Amino acid sequence: MSEEREMPDWVFTDKRPKTDKQYFENLTRCIFEGGLNWVMIANKWPNFEKAFDGFDIEKIAAYGLEDQERLKNDAGIIRNKQKIMATIQNAEEFLRIKREFGSFQKWIDSMDKDNNYEYIVKRLSSRFKRVGPATASIFLWSVGEPITWDMRYHHRRPTTLA
């Protein structure tokens, strides 16, 4: 008998995020959850919100060495240097997208999504740090994009190399 699970409150199932901050926070969450226990991340997420200034994109994009050290030494979050640096660099990328398109949602909407999610996954993976195909697919699903189940998992590495 399968057990019905409640969707986490950060997953936008029937709607899409209204702000770039919400998109950015979801992207950051998907990055930090990669390879880790999702429940552990959920329990630490209030600490992430505090440590990353409420996911204020402009503040994070301006983080310097002092902020990087503060985050690397914050026991309340996951102290993964690469993921911390990716969050800062991704904030900078969000600002570039905002300057070019007006918002992250407008950037996503500017892409042809008709049976073309592989392209969108590749665009996310190429523009953002620590975002591979699996993270990109989970992110798209978490922000209410109509991604299919098969698409989210078809990017697994083959078990043997040809």
CATH of the domain at 79: 1.10.340.30
pLDDT band at residue 5 under the 50/70/90 scheme: low
Half-sphere exposure of 109 (CA within 13 A, CB side): 10
Q: Is residue 15 part of a domain?
A: no
* Residue numbers of the domain that contains 148: 20-153
Q: Nearest 5°: phi and psi at 160? A: -130, 150
Does 84 reside within a domain? yes
Q: Distance between CA atoms of 40 and 47, rounded to whole angstroms?
A: 12
pTM, entire model: 0.87
Q: Residue 59: inside a domain, yes or no?
A: yes
Within a domain: 52: yes
pLDDT score of 161: 28
d(CA 97, CA 151): 25
Q: What is the pLDDT of residues 30-39, one digit of tens each?
A: 999 988 888 8
On whether residue 63 sits in a domain, the answer given is yes
The answer to whether the CB of 154 falls within 8 A of the CB of 147 is no
- Domains: count for the chain: 1
